[in-house]
Amino acid sequence: MYGALLNYEQNKQTITLHYEKQEAQIHVLTDSIINVFVPLFTSEHYSKAIEGDKELPTAFTLDKEQDALILATDSLVCKIYDDFMIDFYDKEGTLLCADYRGKRIPRKRFSESLIELAKQEGHTIDPNGGQDYAIQCIKQLDNADCIYGLGDKTGTLNKRCYEYENWNSDIPDPHEDSFKSLYKSIPFFITLKEKGVYGIFYDNTFKSYFNFGKENNGYYCFGSDDGNLDYYFIGGSSMPEIVTSYTYLTGRMPLPQKWTLGYQQSRWGYDSEKAFRELAAKFKEHHIPCDAFHFDIDYMDHYKVFTWNEERFTDARALLADLKEQGIKAVTIIDPGVKVEKGFTMYDEGVEHDYFAKSPDGNIYVNVVWPGDSVYPDFGNPEVRKWWGGHLQFYTDLGVSGVWNDMNEPASFHGPLPGDIVFTDEGKTATHAQMHNVYGHNMAKATYEGWKKLTNKRPFVITRACYSGSQKYATAWTGDNQSLWTHLRMAIPQQCNLGISGMTFIGTDIGGFGADTTPELLCRWVEAGCFSPLFRNHCAMGCMEQEPWLFGEETLAIYRKYVELRYALLPYFYDLCRECETTGLPIMRPLVLHYENDINVRNLNDEFMVGKHLLVAPVVEQGARKRMVYLPDGVWYDYWTHTEYKGGQYYIVDAPLDVCPIFVKEGTILPKAPAQMYVGEIEDPALILEVYPGTGSYTHYYDNGVDFAYQNGEYQEYFLETDGTKNLKITKRHEGYRDYPDIVIHYI
């Protein structure tokens, strides 16, 4: 396709390569990030994920050798050949990633005679799969390579041997390992090799494909239906370094308000003021901490966004104020679909200003979602984002504290939106095919920016659909799971992969959204779910109600125990948020992120870490009261009993229904909070530090947990060190907020 490399020219950090048949570019962004760009769709990059100029002044050499052009930074060597074949090496000369030379050779699936027979019978069978994508890149795969990332895809942690698609999809069926796509499109993955690691961010918003060695063990490929060939090769000496570089490019989760880390209760079906008041009373009666109630579509008037049903909620403002008095904040769902109804402000204004997507014939495009016939705001247009964001005042005036953006794949009940529906991309005409995967991203951006302007607090936005970089605006959940043990199991690799794909503030519907939960499943789900950054119980209308007190005393006590555990660990979660804002490292992490050389964790699907210090091995099997746990290198302590374990081994540990096995790494200094019914119940709480045997250090962060004052230095930072002698050293590294009234130290 490219032919021979005829010549090239260098303009600062960009090298333009003139091939016989095509022009291409290599762009050095940093020492360890190199962009590969072929302008097949637009002459310049267009990215929805990367904001601002990420190029850092980087020294590199460029030499022409016999058959290759060799570009070398301090950490990467990139050899560029004819046909735009590129191989990447680390600075020691180890080959990291080589373009695959040759055609795709899919594994054989049918014999010639079967294909012939099918033809005669009038059936069409795809003989081998593996058709070339319009835009395509094929890389060699080594036997030991493992592949992680790609956002919310179902199935195993290691994506090697599987294939996926990026096309944001709302699929109501129970999620299966075999699904190729779900709600989010995050075209980033990390390849961990026997020796070495690298990441690739394929910045293309069109429907995209990833075949990680399923069709042939010797290569993997990624590509799309359209757009540019535009990817970033990310080198680094470890998996965390790759994640840090990827989030340097696409952005990091900004520090959230502290209460958003508290427990949240939701149900599609809380339909009235009465229902919410009763709910609050129940939380109090059963003494379960709670920070937010979610208002699903039932609060609206005929499912019209930016309205509130006044029959079922006679005084929403008073209700929200009363709930807030009790520490419970309101989070309202806002879907993109605007009901077609003359006289409805959002519809009228949108029509007047030309804010809705159109059919190619120029008419506003109509499909069906919850309000019936609905139209789709064109969030790629900055004016539309501003308009939408401004209207959020309806909610802030009523006292709403957060927004839940749903159905923003965008979902549609009357068949999928055709690819040629006209949207815009920052002033340029675009199609649905181009904008589909960034629709939710742009909606979340509109919500984040509007909310920030209105409140000057850290916005709490939840989104279902995402693209790379959505972490800058929103937290997310994994969508409509079901009350199935398989879904509890699936949630672990799913959230771990989301985390290393930049999207760290995530959670699942605890107990399961669809179908009916069971007491045992709910217990095991809250035991694992209390470690998800977004900690919310949600279920669907028509399914068995799922509040924790509906399943008997034992379930209630277990549920309370883990909600209380979460509240105790809030300072740790908040520190992890701060770490994520500065390094991009996720809160929930697969073990392989920190122990990448340990082959025992490369395919470990049912354990995870919370930060570097806690290892959680939840029970995800019905009936299990023991489970096997693998502990990686080092010494570990059982969180509940403080029993010491040597790492690098498997153990069978006890896990009665009320026990989620949790292990703490030697040398950990774990920050904890006193019990509270909601964040801020105690205005000035003490800090509790649990110090585990061994040597270690820890940075603890403390601020007002609400606004942006910390960006002007209003925070405290403590550096804690332990040498195992019960003599904790506390140094203040930054002083800009207030000190704790008390610091209580427990030596374990």
Residues marked active site are found at 406, 409, 480
Q: Which of residues 82-101 bind ligand GLC (CB under 6 A)?
A: none
Contacts of 38 (CB under 8 A, 6+ apart): 22, 23, 24, 25, 84, 228, 229, 230
Two tokens at 501? Answer: 């794909």
Smallest distance from ligand GLC to CB 114, Å: 41
CA 299 – CA 313 distance, rounded (Å): 8
- Which residue from 389, 255, 258, 406 is spatially nearest to 329, judged by alpha carbons? 258
DSSP label of 249: H
Minimal CB distance residue for ligand GLC: 268
Counting contacts by CB under 6 A, is residue 480 touching ligand GLC?
yes
What sign does the CA torsion over 106, 108, 109, 112 have?
A: positive
Residue 295 contacts ligand GLC per CB under 6 A: no
For residue 299, state whether it binds ligand GLC (rule: CB under 6 A).
no
Find, among 372, 376, 366, 304, the residue nearest to 337 by Cα.
376
Q: Binding to ligand GLC by residue 152, rule CB under 6 A?
A: no
Compare residues 479 and 611 and give the one whose CB is closer to ligand GLC: 479
Closest to ligand GLC by CB, 163 or 480: 480
Residue with tokens 């570019």: 25
**Cβ closest to ligand GLC, residue 71 vs residue 539:** 539
Please identify, using beta-carbon distances, which residue of 440 and 548 lies nearer to ligand GLC.
440
Q: In the bound complex, what is the minimum distance in angstroms from residue 266's beta carbon to ligand GLC?
A: 7
Considering Cα of 336, then 341, then 345, then 349, what sign does the dihedral take? positive
- The Cα–Cα gap between 683 and 166 comes to 45
DSSP codes, 143-207: TT-EEEE-TT--S-SS-TT-EEEE------SPP-TT-S--SEE--EEEEEPSS-EEEEEE---SS
333 contacts ligand GLC (rule: CB under 6 A): yes
Least Cβ distance, residue 395 to ligand GLC (angstroms): 16
Site track for ligand GLC across 159-198, x = CB under 6 A: ----------------------------------------
Q: To the nearest whole angstrom, how small is the minimum distance from the Cβ of residue 90 to ligand GLC?
A: 43
Output the smallest distance, CB 472 to ligand GLC, in A: 22
Binding-site member from 296, 378, 425, 638 for ligand GLC (CB under 6 A): 296
**Cβ closest to ligand GLC, residue 478 vs residue 555:** 478
In this structure, are residues 153 and 159 in contact, taking their beta carbons and an 8 Å threshold? yes
Output 79 or 175, the one with its CB closest to ligand GLC: 175
Binding mask 387-406 for ligand GLC (x = CB under 6 A): -------------------x
636 φ, ψ (degrees, to nearest 5): -125, 150
Within positions 524 to 553, which residues make up the interface with ligand GLC, using CB under 6 A? Answer: 538
What single-letter DSSP state applies at residue 596? T
Pair of tokens at residue 563: 């909600």
From the list 358, 372, 369, 368, the residue with the least C-alpha distance to 435 is 358
Q: Is 479 in the site for ligand GLC (CB under 6 A)?
A: yes
Measured from the CB of residue 297, what is the shortest distance to ligand GLC in angstroms?
A: 4
The residue behind tokens 């250090």 is 697
- Minimum separation from the CB atom of position 403 to ligand GLC (A): 13
Alpha-helical regions (H) of 259-372: 273-285, 316-325, 345-353
Least gap, CB of 276 to ligand GLC (angstroms): 16
Query: Rounded to the nearest whole angstrom, what is the least distance from the CB of residue 309 to ligand GLC in the complex?
Result: 14
- Residues 488-517, mask of contacts with ligand GLC (x by CB under 6 A): -------------------------x----
Q: For ligand GLC, how many residues bind (rule: CB under 6 A)?
A: 10
Least CB distance from residue 268 to ligand GLC, whole Å? Answer: 4
Instruction: Write down how long the chain is.
Output: 748
Residue 297 within binding range of ligand GLC, rule CB under 6 A: yes
The answer to whether 83 and 2 have CB atoms below 8 angstroms apart is yes
291 Cβ contact list (under 8 Å, min separation 6): 259, 260, 262, 263, 264, 327, 328, 329, 678, 679
User: For residue 230, what are the contacts with CB-CB under 8 A and spacing of at least 6?
Assistant: 35, 36, 37, 38, 45, 47, 202, 203, 204
89 vs 525 by CB, closer to ligand GLC:
525
Residue nearer to ligand GLC on the CB measure, 71 or 411: 411
Residue 409 in the binding site for ligand GLC (CB under 6 A): no
454-473 positions binding ligand GLC, by CB under 6 A: 464
559, 522 in Cβ contact below 8 A?
Answer: yes
User: In 504-605, where do the E strands start and end?
Assistant: 506-507, 509-510, 536-537, 588-589
Using CB under 6 A, which residues numbered 635 to 654 contact ligand GLC? none
CB-wise, 166 or 332, nearer to ligand GLC? Answer: 332
Shortest separation between residue 464's beta carbon and ligand GLC, angstroms: 6
Residue 268 contacts ligand GLC per CB under 6 A = yes
**243 versus 333: smaller Cβ distance to ligand GLC:** 333
CB nearer to ligand GLC: give 270 or 531. Answer: 270
The radius of gyration computed from the CA coordinates of the chain, to the nearest angstrom, equals 26
Q: Evaluate the CA torsion angle 445, 449, 450, 451 in order and state its sign.
A: positive
DSSP string, 598-654: -GGGTT--S-EEETTTEEE----STT-SEEEEEE-SSEEEETTT--EEESSEEEEEE
User: Which chain residues interact with ligand GLC by CB under 6 A?
Assistant: 268, 296-297, 333, 406, 464, 479-480, 513, 538
